[in-house]
Amino acid sequence: MDCPVEEGQIRRALEPFPQIRRLAFDLPGRTLAVDAPADVWSVVTDAIRGAGFQAEPVSAPPSNEATAQAQRKELVQLGVALLVAIGAELVHFFAPDTLVWKGAGFAVAALAIGLSGLSVFRKGLSALLRGQLNINALMSVAVVGAAAIGQWPEAAMVMVLYSLAELIEARAVDRARHAIKGLLDLSPQEAQVRQADGTWLPVAAKAVGLGAIVRVRPGERFALDGKVTTGQSAVDQSPVTGESVPVDKGPGDEVFAGTVNQNGSLEFQVTSPASDTVLARIIHAVEEAQGKRAPTQRIVDRFAAVYTPAVFAVALAVAVGGPLLFGLAWTAAVYKALVMLVIACPCALVISTPVTVVSGLAAAARRGILIKGGVYLEEARKLKVVALDKTGTVTEGRPKLVHQQMLASTLPEAAVLAIAASLAARSDHPVSKAIATGLGQPLHEVQHFGAEVGRGVHGVIDSQDYVLGNHRWVEDRRQCSPELEALMQAQERQGRTVTLLANATGVLALFAVADTTKTTSRQAVAELRSLGVETVMLTGDNAATARAIAAEAGIDDVQAGLLPDDKLQSIQALGERGDVAMVGDGINDAPALAAARIGFAMGGAGTHTAVEAADVVIMNDDLRRVPEAIRLSRRTHAVLWQNIGIALGIKLMFLLLAVFDSATMWMAVFADMGASLLVVFNGLRLMKGVQRE
């Protein structure tokens, strides 16, 4: 079982059993999970075997290596069958036309068919008995028909070539389907774990418990997720987030399984088991996404369900009506009908969509874009409006010191800045932390330190009283002036928070703190505009700050002071302009993310609620991934219709050749399987990613 057609066969075989609650197909792993009472298990497996498939209980999906080994064994068997089929052709062309040599040719051809086509016959016969027409049924009828009119060597060669092309196609499809699973191999199977006595021992990653301390040397990969406890290093996070530049890591920073430690030894505390790392969750999410059929795939499946019986009816009409109505020889009419059957097989058409969609999902995941289903991959191309949350999406989400200005003071500038940094460093307030970090000055001892809620902090340094506070506190101290008011208003108009350092004689310095715009936000908004997509900021922040950030990022429209329900209503209103996406990271964004046509969540800074509500997760919080997802969607849509055109175009051309007696069964097989391989490899082109337009 490795394609949607065979999945459909099994679904129909199990339809008569109401006890079955759910079926979960894993085509890449060739496994099926059946949610049903234990007492119907034997009936279920008998029904699957009756549909022509082997059914074996498994405790775990077969590994990639086991699948590859089975394919190698099948390839050897088909190689032998090909040699035997060539032998049958040689006997047919060069052996004397005697009964003995005809019998020998018959035996050699039958051996080739037996080596290459038993599974095809088994599945085909089962489908025919159930009144279903699929590729295996069509090939079985074609081979039996060729043999019946005395074309044994050609029947053998057709079956061998078909089976060989099917194997090549399966391996090509696996390349797309296993692209994400291949990421799992990036995580080492063992980790160096610190023991109670301080020694380090290699332990299987699956056996490492939460809270364990693991060591990673330079050049090694992380086996698990965790938080750094000791060491400094740069880490290549591209397998998880798609970031091309290594990220500096130190104590308190998160690290992910599958990423590469670059240049320093790190120790980290495990925060997730091996089965629940970020990498494992990505793989699981993409596997689930593969099971959700995209709109084009559903259209193609419905078309194929009508197309195949129609082709069979036409072929039957040619075989019977040709001799009766047009005086054709029976063998010639039957041969022409068999050629039409093989050419018109819908395999290339059916396989074209899932391969393309899976390739697109894999390309996105490798770039740090986790798309939760083929429907979102296809629908992103239709987006007309992208609504953006401000904090953590357009901005960094962390306040930074963006401006400092010395005012009247008899003290040197360095001394004033050191006093401000010393007071700020004693406070836990985000604004104070931003000032202390931004100034980076040597700290003085602060005596009699205190904090005034809603005002700021104060303390004594070198026997002098100082305050580091907001506008209101300085006004209460009667230390404001028209000049100072003008300076503060200029900063506040830009959406900045102003803090002042003052002593008993006056205000010494002004500091402005703001949540800065991400360096990538302006580029992302420009790319969205070039794609014809309008941008709107939806934020709960005040209007002045929102407008300042929007102007800096180049965002078209701003709606500020919004509560979660307001954001939801805004998304619904924006929907009147066309398909709308929401990009956010907080719990307050979750209703809007769920209501939007497509919800994008920031996976790094985003809350669990936002990530769950979204349809697409951006693993590295880079807003440029949104236009990249739209470009990928447009390219995927184009490739899907290219594949449909290729499949139908080739079939139509060879059907016309068959009508005018210019096509043979060999050509029919090459036309059918050639079309299948063309659409598979065309779909795999998406794996290369998306270049910016």
For 414, residues 6+ apart whose C-beta sits below 8 A from its C-beta are 441
What are the φ/ψ torsions at residue 236 (nearest 5 degrees)? -80, 110
pLDDT of residue 339: 81
- What is residue 391's three-state secondary structure? helix
pLDDT, average across residues 199-214: 92
Residue 321 has pLDDT above 50, yes or no: yes
Per-residue HEC secondary structure of 349-382 comes to HHHHHHHHHHHHHHHHHHCCEEECCHHHHHHHHH
Q: What average pLDDT does the structure give for the chain?
A: 82
Q: Is the pLDDT of residue 692 over 60?
A: no
Please report the pLDDT score of residue 374 as a whole number.
Answer: 79
- What is the tens place of the pLDDT at every residue in 659-683? 787 877 777 777 777 787 788 788 8
> Is the pLDDT assigned to residue 62 strictly greater than 70?
no
Q: In whole angstroms, how far apart are CA 647 and each of 215, 298, 572, 661, 673?
A: 53, 17, 40, 21, 10
389 catalytic residue (yes or no): yes
Q: What is the mean pLDDT of residues 225-232?
A: 92
Asked if the model's pLDDT at residue 243 lies above 70, the reply is no
Degrees to nearest 5, angle at CA 79 with 77 and 84:
95
Q: Is the pLDDT of residue 689 over 60?
A: no
Q: At what angle do helices 278-290 and 347-366 cross, to 10 degrees?
A: 160
Higher pLDDT: 587 or 476? It is 476
**What proportion of the chain, given as a percentage, has pLDDT over 90?**
22
Q: Is the pLDDT of residue 201 over 80?
A: yes
Name which of 231-240, 399-408, 616-625 the model is least confident about. 231-240
How would you label 562-577 residue by residue, b for 16+ Cβ within 10 Å and e otherwise?
beeebbbbbbeebeee
Q: What is the rounded distance in angstroms from the CA atom of residue 548 to the CA atom of residue 681?
A: 48
Which string of DSSP letters, residue by residue, matches 538-596?
E-SS-HHHHHHHHHHHT-SEEE-S--HHHHHHHHHHHGGGSEEEEEE-SGGGHHHHHHS
In terms of pLDDT, which residue wins out, 345 or 445?
Answer: 445
Task: Give the C-alpha separation, 309 to 351, whole Å.
Answer: 18
Give mean pLDDT, residues 367-387. Answer: 88
pLDDT at 491 over 50: yes
Residue 179 above 60 pLDDT? no
**Could you say which DSSP state residue 38 is in?**
G
> If you write DSSP's letter for every residue of 97-163 in order, what string do you get?
SSHHHHHHHHHHHHHHHHHHHHHHHHHHHHHHHTT---HHHHHHHHHHHHHHTT-HHHHHHHHHHHH
Is the pLDDT at 61 greater than 60? The verdict is no
On the question of pLDDT at 283 being above 90, the answer is no
Pick from 375, 293, 358: which is nearest to 599 by CA? 375
Which residue carries 């240049």 as its tokens? 263
Residue 691: what pLDDT?
46
Q: 248 or 302: which carries more pLDDT confidence?
A: 248
Would you say 420 and 509 are in contact if contact means Cβ atoms under 8 Å apart?
yes
Q: Range with the lowest mean pLDDT among 150-164, 179-193, 260-274, 498-512?
A: 179-193
d(CA 666, CA 168): 17
pLDDT of residue 40: 86
pLDDT tens digit sequence for 143-156: 888 777 777 887 78
Give the distance between the most distant pair of CA atoms in the chain. 123
State how far Cα 297 lies from the chain centre. Answer: 17
Q: How far apart are CA 543 and CA 29, in angstroms?
A: 53
Average pLDDT on 136-149 reads 78
Say how far apart CA 53 and CA 30 lie, in whole Å. Answer: 11
Highest mean pLDDT, choosing among 152-166, 287-301, 505-519: 505-519
Q: Above 60 in pLDDT, residue 609?
A: yes
pLDDT-based confidence at 546, cuts 50/70/90?
A: confident
pLDDT value at residue 693: 41
What does the angle CA 339 – CA 349 – CA 292 come to, to the nearest 5 degrees? 150
Instruction: Specify the DSSP element, H or E, that contains 512.
Output: strand 507-517
Structure tokens at 104: 């020998």
Exactly one of 2, 389, 579, 621 is catalytic; name it: 389
The whole-angstrom separation of Cα 503 and Cα 468 is 9
231-to-199, 238, 637 alpha-carbon distances in Å:
18, 21, 47
pLDDT at 526: 95
Residue 95 near residue 269 (C-beta atoms within 8 A): no
| The model's pTM | 0.67
The mean pLDDT of 554-583, rounded to a whole number, is 88
